[in-house]
């Protein structure tokens, strides 16, 4: 089992992933700029779970304590957060869920000049960090529910072993995940998020996602 730190873990995506991984038996650390709020989220997970598998810390302490660090932060906070955590995540796998949404037109694809948010993360953290991009296309509010996740996760990264670790974590959380190639391909998943937001606006209450078909194990 892994110790997984989730930066920005009090939000809907971070807390939902934390619940899924704690349910699977992993130790999870909720990171937040407000340590008290992180502890509150962790206590809620433990109470629901009936055991102590979640802890709350400030973002820096969480990044230092985790074996795998997951970023569930807004694009606007990406650079400042990574500057703070740079030294704490060296030698680790960092999973970037960031989507470069530019309000107010979040349903329009607006990728950064670097190609994707995940590529920016890799550039800012350096080659001693294995950045993996994943979970952009999962409806966050479906994660805490005791229901099957019917959409798939695209996992990109330049190191296959690091991708495989996250593919398995996704499966532990009840999600089908796929190796989707090098980190540059993260642009596709990030761009898809705006398209899914557009679809959800057309169909209120929808939780649109993607599904890979036509390959063994995809049905």
3 state SS of 140 = helix
Query: What is the tens place of the pLDDT at every residue in 154-204?
Result: 999 999 999 999 999 999 999 999 999 999 999 999 999 888 878 878 887
pLDDT at 147: 79
Mean pLDDT of 12-18: 94
- Can you read off the two tokens belonging to residue 78? 């990406």
**Domains with residue ranges and CATH for the chain:** 3-202 (3.40.50.720)
Question: What pLDDT score does 203 carry?
Answer: 80
Cβ-contact 167, 176 below 8 angstroms: no
Prediction pTM value? 0.93
Strand arrangement, sheet containing 93-96: 54-58, 27-32, 3-7, 68-71, 93-96, 130-133, 152-157, 176-179
| 78 phi and psi angles, rounded to 5 deg | -60, -55
Residue 102's pLDDT is what? Answer: 80
Contact between residue 81 and residue 57 where contact means Cβ atoms under 8 Å apart: no
Q: What is the pLDDT of residue 93?
A: 98
pLDDT tens for each residue of 19-64: 999 999 999 999 999 999 999 999 999 999 999 999 999 999 999 9
pLDDT digits (tens, 9 = 90+) for 133-155: 999 998 888 888 777 888 999 99
d(CA 142, CA 7): 20
Query: Residue 196 has what pLDDT?
Result: 85
């Amino acid at each position: 089992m892994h110790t997984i730190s989730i930066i920005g873990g009090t939000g809907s995506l971070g807390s939902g992933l934390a619940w899924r991984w704690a349910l699977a038996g992993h130790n999870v650390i909720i990171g937040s700029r407000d340590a008290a709020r992180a502890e509150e989220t962790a206590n809620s997970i433990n109470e629901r779970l009936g055991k102590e598998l979640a802890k709350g810390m400030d973002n820096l302490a969480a990044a230092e304590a985790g074996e795998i660090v997951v970023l569930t932060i807004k694009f606007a906070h990406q650079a400042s957060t990574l500057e703070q955590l740079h030294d704490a995540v060296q030698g680790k796998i960092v999973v970037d869920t960031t989507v470069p949404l530019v309000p107010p037109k979040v349903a329009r694809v607006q990728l950064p000049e670097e190609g994707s948010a995940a590529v920016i993360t890799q550039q800012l953290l350096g080659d001693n960090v294995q950045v993996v991009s994943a979970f952009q296309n999962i409806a966050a509010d479906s994660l805490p529910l005791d229901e099957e996740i019917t959409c798939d996760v695209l996992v990109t990264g330049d190191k296959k072993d690091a991708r495989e670790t996250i593919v398995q974590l996704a499966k532990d959380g009840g999600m089908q995940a796929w190796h989707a190639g090098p980190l540059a391909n993260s642009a596709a998943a990030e761009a898809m998020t705006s398209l899914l937001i557009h679809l959800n606006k057309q169909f209120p209450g929808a939780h649109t996602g993607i599904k890979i078909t036509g390959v063994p194990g995809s049905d």
